[in-house]
Amino acid sequence: GEGRGRGGGASSSGDGIALGRAQGAGGGGSSEGEQCEICGRIVPFAAAEMHRAQHERKGEVAAHRERQAREAERREMDAQYEESLRQDQEREAAELAAAAAARQAARAEEGERRRREEAAAAAAERRAREREALEPEPQPGTPGVATICVVLPNGTRMTRRFRADSPMWAVFAWLRSLEELAPFRAW
């Protein structure tokens, strides 16, 4: 066991009772003794064995050992509880952080989806305005007409007739109005 003396080391009898060395205020002399682990009294060195035997006869040594064992077990259980509580709190904090990150990712994904939908709707609206702004396509066989043929990246051929005096921006307006070119915005 542990010595609780005010002075130096501790001694222990064969029965497991520790007596710590204690000294009086003068630091020496006849007041030297050992502090009993069971009752806490300072016992003169000469009377230590008899003092231990008295505790043994009264059954106080066994009770003391049982009390120490219970206290050690309680400390161990408290430590295990604290560790379990700490792990639970860490796990809960990690779960909360993961849930918050998932919510943030979902909000970001929803925002990106909404942005793409709005961009697609705006692009479709621009293409519709471009189509409405185009002058009517001349009939086949009309004199002074140029036919423009464009091959799209997917191999599709798109053709349209323009009057020979139409400005070049009209050709680009036609290209911008094509739904088929919408996926190929790199041009």
Print pLDDT tens along the chain (187 aa).
Answer: 444 444 444 444 445 555 555 544 444 444 588 888 888 889 898 888 888 888 888 888 888 889 899 999 999 999 999 999 999 999 999 999 999 999 999 999 999 999 999 998 998 999 899 899 899 999 999 999 999 999 988 889 999 999 999 999 999 999 989 988 888 765 5
Residue 10 pLDDT: 47
CA 123 to CA 176: how far, in whole Å? 9
The helix (H) or strand (E) run that includes residue 70 is helix 60-133
Distances (CA, A) of 22 to 41, 44, 136, 165, 174: 10, 9, 115, 119, 106
Q: So where are the chain's domains?
A: 10-58, 77-133, 135-181
Overall pTM surpassing 0.85 (yes/no): no
The first and second tokens of residue 4, run together, are 């609780």
| First-to-last C-alpha distance (Å) of the chain | 87
